[in-house]
Structure formats: structure tokens, C-alpha cells
Amino acid sequence: MDSPLKENILELRVPSNSERQRLDKFLSQQLTSVTRAKIKKMIDSDRITVDGRAVKASHIVQVDETIRIDFPPPEPLDVVSEPIPLDIIYEDDHLLVVNKAPGMVVHPAYGNKSGTLVNALLAHCQSLSSVGGIVRPGLVHRLDKETSGLLVVAKDDVTHVELAKQLSQYKMDREYRAVVWGHPSQSSMRIEAALGRHPKDRTRMRIDEKGKHAATTFTVLDEMTFTSYLKLVLETGRTHQIRVHLSSLGHPVFGDSVYGGKGKQLAGMNTARVKFVNRLFRKFTRHMLHAQILTFRHPATQELMTFQSPLPTDMQELLHILKSSTV
């Protein structure tokens, strides 16, 4: 399907294998990052045309029709820009890749109205895509507060849609590093288990056969006395996916207080090891998960781009201590 970048305009050609369906439904499948309500609004305001003519949302798409989408200017943002330093790995007119520090919240929410990555991005960029709404401008994907590493941010809606499509079609490669408890029974493994919201705590996820498909692959890079160092590759990108999948195997991420990677691990340890681990918890106060490698195809140039973030200082130090310890 053709999708050339042209200002804030996206053109799609209906593929030969496309089933006959309503325009709004077809576009909701193609533009996975755009809500159906926004698609309907753009159709009603003639910002979406088919072969150059205005149509209704109920229009049945035909093979080889050209759909032109003229994204509206971004809505005014309620989020305040803040001159917070950013570690920018790459930037051009369409996007930027940021190395997020551990402890930084990605976007404003209840209890975190300022000091977020979005606040910092608004101070740095003249424009960000509006696909994610007025609270999440530019954000194609997210990282948990305690997780460090690479994020790609879109400056315009067309770039955002194209990157989100790569993400939904599993064409954006994301590789992580993690320190976990225990030693997995296999040196490499593919974890496939659907995830859903926890019924009693909506901030948590759990294994749920009725949830969304999720798959993670890991390889053991090193083993210490009671922990392991893993490389992980996301096949899907569900909320808390790596943390829940590893916890379900009995190897939660070190320091993950939500999914069993902290206090629960002290049970059964001798006194010396309990003291040693508690010292580590006091020194390293986050879960040890890092988004290290990010690969995607640039929507404007079609160049395959790969970025790598060095392991953060706290994870390097923890690994050094764990490898040196005999406790």
C-alpha cells in the first residue's frame, strides 16, 4: 500500500486483497493509532476524500481507490512545556529518538502533571503529532516510569501513523536488557501468554487467556549466584508485557515491587543474603529493565534505522556487584 509523506497529508491505495467494507472501518484498521471517532470527524469535515471526492463514513471501499487524509492542525495543548534536559539520540524534521532516564514519567497523568517526558518535549520541539491526543503528543509508544531506554517520538501526524503501523504490524524491533531473579530452566525461550487488566487493580496487568495476544523472547546472557542477566525481544508491545511474562515464569525483574521482584524474593534466604539484598534494594530503587535497541524504517526516507542505548550506570553497577558477590 502506497503511503508517501507529503506535509501532513497521507495517501492510501486500497489493496487488491482488501474486503469490501465501510470507509471508517477500513481506516480504523489501517490507522491503528487514530481513534475511530477522529476518523469519523475527519470524514464529516471532508478532510478524508476518496479519488478526490468527499464521501460518507458508510462509503464501501473499492480496490485501487486512493484515499487522501488531510490531518487537521494540532489542538492547543493544556500541558505546560518545561525546559527539562533530554538525551536525544537522533532528530530530524519528522521524528526524534530519545534515551529516557529511569524515573521519568512519559506523559502527564493524575499525580504527575509536570516533569514528564512530554513536558520536556514540548519545550524542545516546535511541533509534535496530535494523534495521541492533547496529553500524549508525539508518543508512538511508551515506557514505564522506572524503565530506561529508547523511545521514538513523531513530530507530525503522518509520521506518527506510519510508525504506529510498523509497531502494530510487528515491524518495529525493540530489544531490552533485564536483571531477573533466579536462573531460567532454558538458555532461551519464547513466552506466549495473553495479557489483560487485573480485575481488582486496574494499574496492573496479568496473564489472561481472554486478553490481548502477547509474545516475548528471551536469551540468558549471564548468570550470577541468584540472578540472571537477559536479552529480551518484544514481538508485541502490551502494557507491562516483559514484567508480567517474566514474573509468570517465576523470574521477575529485579526490584519490581509490583510483580514480585522485590520483598517476596527474601523468603527462604539466609541472614547474610537477606542483608546483602536489602542493601541492594536501598541502593537501586527501581526495577532493572532497559530498552536498549530500537529499529524501524524511517517513514519519509524509507531508510532502516537502528539505535542503541548504553546500559545505564545503575544497571552496570548492579551487575558488577552481583558478579563479584559470593553471598
Whichever domain contains 149, its CATH number is 3.30.2350.10
pLDDT of residue 221: 98
Contact 192, 215 (CB under 8 A): yes
Q: Which one, of 248, 254, 176, 260, lies nearest residue 218 by Cα?
A: 176
* 84 shares its domain with 158: yes
Q: Which one, of 189, 172, 169, lies nearest residue 180 by Cα?
A: 189
Count structural domains, the chain: 3
Please state at what angle helix 36-44 crosses helix 23-30, rounded to 10 degrees: 130
Contact 40, 56 (CB under 8 A): no
In this prediction, the residues of the chain whose per-residue pLDDT falls under 70 are: 1-7, 33, 73-78, 109-113, 132-135
CA 59 from centre of chain: 33
Return the active site residues: 144
Residue 6 is given by DSSP the state E
In a domain, 148, yes or no: yes
* 234 shares its domain with 179: yes
Q: Which of 41, 70, 99 is the last residue of a domain?
A: 70
H or E element that contains 66: strand 66-70
Q: How does pLDDT run across 235-291, given as a tens digit for each residue?
A: 998 999 999 999 999 999 999 999 999 989 999 999 999 999 999 999 999 999 999
Beta strands in 127-181 (DSSP E): 148-154, 173-181
Domain of residue 30 covers 5-70
In a domain, 206, yes or no: yes
pLDDT of residue 321: 97
Is 48 in a helix, a strand, or coil?
strand
Contact 261, 245 (CB under 8 A): no
Which residue in the block uniquely carries the three cell numbers 492542525?
Answer: 73
Q: Which of 105, 137, 167 is the last residue of a domain?
A: 167
* 215 shares its domain with 137: no
Q: Which of 167, 198, 224 is the last residue of a domain?
A: 167
* 201 shares its domain with 275: yes
In a domain, 184, yes or no: yes
Contact 206, 195 (CB under 8 A): yes
